[in-house]
């Protein structure tokens, strides 16, 4: 039962009930047009703010994910001392929009932090995220060494590891990765972005990266994943630096299943989910759906 | 008045010191080096040793001008180290305070000054070791700040962990405030912090033996200003009311006051004005000697023997520190910060103030010991085991007071090689064990990666498989050392940077 969340269970029951109750011709129509809330939305357009809003709205609005009084962690990728144009860090507009939407949905507090790879001060400033998120009302903090706790992750390779306490204590986690190339994992998206919530000698995880990532995905279960593909880094990732590898993609995707979101990211990048070992492993362990055809998906366009 | 001035400048100094760090902008607005720019000793010795003076150091003419007019007011009213000495002097035991400063001790500082002037004339610039401003900044940066940081952290950690109701609620906001405004962003750690700290502690403790011991006995800047002050029109007049109670002589912190006409040691006087205030007869006055011959003073009592010894020592010190094999071939691990002048020129300029060590984002810049010879003690060098050179950071060049490290633009910085990386294939995980790793490639910051991959088919226990192994493109590598720092083999990294290929000199070139 471990692989099925309460929501999925309910959905199964409802779907089953609907199936029994509805007469034949209605059922076919119902499956053609998505019934119930969507799993995944791809939103395109030139304004990062608008497409982020549209993506979340199409999923059912932020109220679907955030309850009044929640403490929310919005976790961008701001691991590097790079500016937004270099597409190594999450687009600040996307982050700020989500912060604002969370607060509008009644969140008590929205936290933003990341255990960066380079000097956090520079990463926070140069990614533009600190300023944008603060302006939107978020609480941006640097990672405090005292707040790492060794926790039982009970994973395949991550048995015990240093985890940032606040990341576990918050009510909801919204993972906001950027879609970019990664030299070892091929791509870095949502699941890889979870590495910013742990401490320890993270570089050693590279020796068994795919397994470690799946262990992380099993431990942290974000409520919502918003994939920033406004600009994507097509090579030299994860850090990039040269503008010649940056491509304007004008897309933001949002979804509830982090495995599906990574699978979607791979597809957007022109790869198949099967090519990504960590997606395959995660799917095998029942952490999510990698077959996009099985999901209720929708595309929205904000530009007319 | 004087106290206010002293505390003002001390607080200004400490404020600028704290602000000399990365605060969210690429440029540091007011680094604490401004105090060094007002330091004429630094200017003179830099000029003698390198025949060039950065324009900012001309500010020290202001200090000279003030001294010419008012005497050693810098020492008594401005110098932050002097203020600290005064403060420590308050704790001197009563009986010690009354003992007079002897001429013998006071001479030493002039000999030190002559020694430094001569050695810098012969290109050996070691003034920074004993220049008061340089010494103070260095001691604060390398020892005091790290110690204070550690103490504060440990204390507040205790409250944090104990989670005492009420106490923790107060301590945490206070901690966050300190962390944001006062403490260093991360715990600074420096080699030789103990040594530099003990020297500083000894200097402060010496005030318990003689008040302002440093200023009266050792300080070469004080000596220089004393020499200049001799020709100032300032004078101290002892009126006829004087009943020779000798209170002023006893109370004088620098041993300059006298109750007789003509015995005032002008070069020792720091113009604190205490004798004027304390005199029960109101007999002491300070004024300008524009009229009559009153207010004569005693000269500086130097011995010919001592002066000659100091000059000779200054001359012989130069070859003495340079009969070191390092002058034949330098150390490969001596990696200087980006923008550093060619080694010889660098040593002639660096005054070891330690500002670059303080601002270094990653704590990678460390004071050297003998890596650059005795001459280069406490000059900055990179230790990539501790930190690395952040690709877009140009702070060290911005804070250097003498231009030993040039201020680079980000674009120049990206082109400046401080060394090159090479891979130790016997240790590197993909080479030695056939396991993927690539951490170095991931962190390599150059826009076109200097660390690339080759795909190789290797035999492993589980059969043949293809893995990616890192290779270094020496044309692109700038030797920033992030690969060495991030290498998961923490004991001894499998990728190491050395000085080979550094842009600044010709000694370590490679056919690129």
A49 vs A55: CA distance, rounded Å: 10
- What's chain B's average pLDDT? 90
Q: Is the pLDDT at B86 greater than 60, yes or no?
A: yes
0.80 surpassed by pTM? yes
Residue A203, min C-alpha distance to chain B (Å): 6
Tell me, what's the pLDDT at A27? 39
Task: Tell me if B435 and A207 make a contact (CB, 8 A cut-off).
Answer: yes
Q: Considering only CA atoms, which of B404, B294, B287, B400 is closest in space to residue B340?
A: B404
Q: What is the chain A residue with the closest CA to B360?
A: A119
pLDDT tens readout for residues B292-342: 445 556 677 788 899 999 999 999 999 999 999 988 888 889 999 999 999
pLDDT at A111 over 90: yes
Topology of B233-298 in CATH?
Answer: Alpha-Beta Plaits (3.30.70)
- The predicted pLDDT at position B290 comes to 57
**How many A×B Cβ pairs under 8 Å?**
72
Q: Are B257 and B249 in contact (CB under 8 A)?
A: yes
Closest Cβ opposite residue B442 in set A122, A183, A207: A183
Please tell me the CATH code under which domain A37-301 is placed. Answer: 3.40.50
Contacts of A139 (CB under 8 A, 6+ apart): A109, A110, A111, A112
CB contact under 8 A, A239 and B444: yes
CB distance B435 to B429 below 8 Å: yes
Contact indicator for B281, B242 with CB cutoff of 8 Å: yes
- Hey, are the CB atoms on B436 and A184 less than 8 Å from each other? yes
Cβ–Cβ gap B436/A206 under 8 Å:
yes
Q: Kindly report which listed range (A187-196, A292-301, B237-246) carries the lowest average pLDDT score.
A: B237-246
Phi-psi region of B424 (alpha: psi -120 to 50; beta: other; left: phi over 0): beta
Task: Pick the range with the lowest mean pLDDT from A56-70, A136-150, A189-203, B163-177.
Answer: B163-177
Calculate how close chain B gets to A94, using CA atoms only, in Å: 22
pLDDT at B278 (0 to 100): 86
DSSP B317-350: HHHHHH-SGGGTS--TT-BPPTTBPPHHHHHHH-
Q: Which candidate from A81, A118, A206 shows the least CB-CB separation from B438?
A: A206
Residue B191 has pLDDT above 90, yes or no: yes
Q: Rounded to whole angstroms, what are the CA distances from B399 to A201, A266, B405? A: 32, 46, 9
Task: State how far the alpha carbon of B466 is from the alpha carbons of A162, A183, B462, in Å.
Answer: 32, 15, 12
| Interval B459-488: pLDDT, tens | 877 788 899 999 999 999 999 999 999 999
Using the predicted structure, report yes or no on whether residue A24 has a pLDDT greater than 80.
no
Contacts of B437 in chain A (CB under 8 A): 206-207
A121, A148, A243: which to substitute to probe chain B, counting the most B Cβ within 10 Å? A121
Chain B residues inside the 8 Å CB shell of A117: 443, 486
pLDDT higher than threshold 80 for residue A282: yes
Mutate to test the interface with A, among B26, B28, B438, B491 (most CBs of A within 10 A): B438
Nearest chain A residue (CA) to B451: A236
**A-chain residues within 8 Å CB-CB of B393?**
119, 122
* Span B212-234, pLDDT tens digits: 999 999 999 999 999 999 888 88
- The confidence band for B136, taking pLDDT boundaries of 50, 70 and 90, is very high
Residue A82, burial from CB neighbour count under 10 angstroms (0-12, 13-18, 19+): buried
CB contact under 8 A, A81 and B445: yes
The pLDDT of residue A93 is 97
Q: How far is A179 from chain B (nearest CA, A)?
A: 16
Helix axes B193-209, B80-89, angle to 10 degrees: 50
Residue of chain B nearest A124, judged by CA positions: B24
Chain B positions touching A204 (Cβ under 8 A) are 488
Mean pLDDT of B116-138: 95
What average pLDDT score do residues B47-70 get?
90
CA distance A208 to chain B (A): 8
Determine what percent of chain A is predicted with pLDDT higher than 90: 80
- Residues in chain B with CB shorter than 8 Å from the CB of A122 are 22, 361, 390, 392-393
- Tell me whether residues A236 and B361 touch, CB distance under 8 A: no
Q: What is the C-alpha to C-alpha distance for residues A225 and A193, in angstroms, rounded to an integer? A: 11
Query: In chain B, which segments carry CATH 3.30.70.20?
Result: 233-298, 417-512
pLDDT band at A184 (very low <50, low <70, confident <90, very high): confident
Tens-digit pLDDT profile for residues A230-261:
999 999 889 998 999 999 999 999 999 999 99
A238 chain-B contacts, CB cut-off 8 A: 442
* Closest approach of B490 to chain A, Cα-based (Å): 10
Q: For domain B417-512, which architecture applies?
A: 2-Layer Sandwich (3.30)
d(CA B199, CA B212): 15
**For chain A, what are the domain ranges?**
1-36, 37-301
pLDDT of amino acid A12:
64
């Amino acid at each position: 039962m471990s692989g099925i969340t309460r929501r999925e269970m309910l959905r199964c029951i409802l779907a089953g009930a609907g199936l029994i109750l509805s007469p034949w011709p209605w059922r076919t129509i119902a499956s053609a047009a998505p019934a119930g809330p969507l799993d995944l939305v791809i939103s395109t357009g030139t304004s990062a703010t608008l497409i982020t809003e549209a993506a979340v709205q199409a999923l059912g609005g932020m109220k679907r994910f955030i309850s009044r009084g929640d403490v929310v962690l919005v976790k961008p990728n701001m691991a590097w001392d790079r500016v937004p144009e270099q597409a190594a860090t999450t687009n600040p507009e996307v982050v700020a929009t989500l912060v604002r939407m969370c607060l509008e949905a009644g969140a008590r507090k929205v936290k933003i932090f990341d255990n960066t790879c380079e000097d956090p001060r520079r990463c926070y400033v140069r990614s533009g995220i600190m300023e944008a998120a603060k302006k939107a009302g978020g609480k941006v903090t640097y990672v405090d060494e005292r707040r790492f706790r060794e926790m039982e992750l009970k994973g395949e390779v991550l048995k015990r590891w240093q985890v940032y306490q606040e990341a576990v204590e918050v009510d909801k986690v919204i993972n906001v990765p950027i879609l970019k190339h990664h030299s070892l994992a091929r791509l870095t998206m949502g699941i890889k972005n979870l590495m910013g919530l742990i401490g320890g000698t993270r570089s050693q995880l590279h020796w068994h990266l795919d397994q470690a990532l799946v262990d992380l995905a099993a431990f942290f279960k974000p409520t919502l994943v918003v994939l920033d593909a406004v600009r994507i880094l097509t090579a030299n990732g994860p850090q990039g630096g040269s503008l010649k590898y940056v491509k304007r993609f004008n897309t933001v995707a949002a979804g509830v299943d982090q495995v599906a979101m990574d699978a979607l990211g791979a597809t957007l990048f022109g790869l198949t989910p099967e090519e990504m070992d960590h997606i395959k492993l995660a799917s095998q362990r029942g952490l999510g759906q990698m077959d996009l055809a099985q999901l209720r998906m929708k595309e929205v366009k904000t530009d007319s | 008045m004087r106290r206010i001035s002293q505390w003002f400048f001390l607080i200004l100094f400490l404020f600028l010191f704290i602000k000399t760090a990365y605060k969210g902008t690429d440029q540091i607005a007011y680094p604490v080096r401004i105090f060094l720019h007002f330091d004429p000793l630094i200017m003179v010795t830099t000029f003698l040793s390198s025949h060039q003076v950065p324009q900012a150091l001309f500010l020290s003419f202001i200090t000279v001008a003030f001294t010419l007019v008012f005497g050693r007011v810098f020492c008594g009213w401005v110098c932050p180290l002097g203020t600290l000495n005064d403060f420590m002097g308050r704790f001197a035991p009563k009986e010690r305070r009354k003992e007079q400063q002897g001429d013998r001790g006071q001479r030493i500082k002039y000999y030190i000054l002559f020694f430094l002037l001569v050695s810098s004339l012969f290109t050996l610039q070691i003034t920074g070791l004993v220049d008061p401003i340089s010494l103070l900044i260095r001691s604060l940066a390398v020892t005091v700040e790290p110690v204070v940081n550690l103490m504060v952290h440990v204390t507040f950690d205790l409250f944090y962990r104990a989670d005492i109701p009420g106490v923790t609620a107060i301590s945490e906001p206070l901690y966050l405030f300190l962390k944001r405004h006062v403490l260093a962003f991360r715990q600074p750690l420096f080699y030789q912090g103990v040594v530099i700290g003990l020297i500083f502690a000894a200097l402060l403790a010496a005030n318990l033996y003689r008040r302002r011991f440093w200023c009266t006995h050792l300080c070469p800047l004080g000596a220089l200003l004393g020499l200049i002050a001799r020709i100032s029109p300032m004078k101290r007049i002892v009126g006829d009311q004087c009943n020779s109670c000798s209170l002023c002589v006893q109370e004088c912190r620098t041993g300059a006051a006298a109750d007789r006409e003509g015995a005032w040691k002008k070069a020792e006087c720091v113009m604190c004005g205490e004798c004027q205030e304390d005199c029960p007869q109101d007999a002491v006055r300070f004024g300008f000697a524009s009229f009559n011959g009153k207010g004569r003073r005693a000269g500086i009592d130097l011995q010919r023997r001592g002066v000659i010894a100091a000059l000779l020592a200054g001359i012989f010190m130069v070859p003495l520190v340079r009969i070191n094999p390092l002058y034949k071939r330098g150390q490969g691990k001596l990696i200087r910060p980006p923008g550093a002048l060619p080694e010889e020129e660098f040593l002639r300029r660096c005054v070891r103030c330690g500002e670059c060590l303080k601002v270094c984002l990653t704590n990678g810049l460390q004071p050297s010991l003998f890596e650059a010879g005795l001459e280069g003690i406490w000059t900055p060098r990179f230790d990539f085991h501790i930190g690395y050179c952040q690709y877009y950071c140009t702070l060290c060049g911005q804070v250097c007071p003498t231009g030993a490290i040039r201020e680079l633009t980000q674009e120049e910085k990206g082109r400046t090689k401080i060394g090159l990386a090479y891979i130790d294939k016997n240790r590197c995980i993909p080479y030695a064990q056939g396991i993927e790793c690539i951490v170095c490639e991931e962190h390599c910051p150059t826009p076109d990666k200097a660390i690339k991959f080759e795909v190789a088919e290797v035999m492993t226990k589980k059969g043949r498989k293809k893995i990616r192994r890192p290779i270094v493109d020496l044309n692109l590598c700038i030797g920033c050392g992030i690969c060495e720092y991030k290498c998961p083999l923490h004991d001894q990294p499998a990728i190491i940077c050395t000085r080979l290929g550094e842009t600044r000199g010709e000694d370590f070139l490679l056919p690129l």
